[in-house]
Structures are given as C-alpha cells and as structure tokens.
Amino acid sequence: MPWDQDVGASQLQDSDPSERRRFIRAATVLKARLVTPEGTVEGTVLDASLNGVKVWAAGEVPVGTKVTLLLTGAAHFGGEVVWRRGETLGLCFQDDPEKVAAIMAALLPQRCLQVGHA
C-alpha cells in the first residue's frame, strides 16, 4: 500500500502492521491558506490527521517547502511539503501531535484525535 494512499478502517484491519498509519485520517473540506517563503497560496484541506494533511493548492508549492498552514478560526500549523501530484500535496506537520489534537478538536472526529492509533 503506498504511503500517501487514503486508508479505510477495513484496510487497516486487514493490512500488515508495518503498513498501518500511526494516525487516523479523516476526510475533510476545510478552506486553508499556505504561507510560503514566496507568498500565500489558497487551498482546501482534503483529509487530515494529527501528523499532516492532504491539500489541494491553487498555486505551485514544491516538495521540501516549509509552510505555515492557516485554517479557519486562526488555527495554524508549521509543516513541510513532503509530496506533490498535480495540484494535490501532502503536508507533514512539525508541531507535536498532542498540540495538533488540541487545536483540531473542533475540526476532526474524536476517533482521529487519539495520539498513537491507526
């Protein structure tokens, strides 16, 4: 199973333990902005976990770019773009998962806020 593929609960139960994600992902549709060294890029968070997000981005943000993800309600996270396919990119958070859980509590289902599970 590729590392950036969405994983459903049935796949988690049937998969090899070495392929399981550390954090549960939730499908979302959240307006976002990526603040990069080159400027701000509008986007939409398509799925999220305590470790990172998958984002559709309106502009070019290359792999390796350090960004700040801004979400509604003044939530913000530091991160790095770790993969990109077309207009979709993967952002890995630099913040501690417990800090992310506290901030994301109003945005993600309770099952996704448990650190160390997936």
- Segment 37-71, tens digit of pLDDT: 999 999 999 988 888 899 999 889 999 999 999 98
Give this prediction's pTM: 0.71
| Digit-coded pLDDT (tens) for 61-106 | 999 999 999 987 667 889 999 999 999 999 999 888 888 778 777 6
Of 93, 99, 96, the closest CA to residue 48 belongs to: 93
The CATH number assigned to the domain with range 9-113 reads 2.40.10.220
Q: How far apart are CA 11 and CA 24, in angstroms?
A: 12
23-27 CB contacts, 8 Å cutoff, 24+ apart: 23/49, 23/50, 23/51, 23/97, 23/112, 23/115, 23/117, 23/118, 24/49, 24/111, 24/112, 24/114, 24/117, 24/118, 25/49, 25/112, 25/118, 26/108, 26/109, 26/111, 26/112
50 touches 101 (CB < 8 A): yes
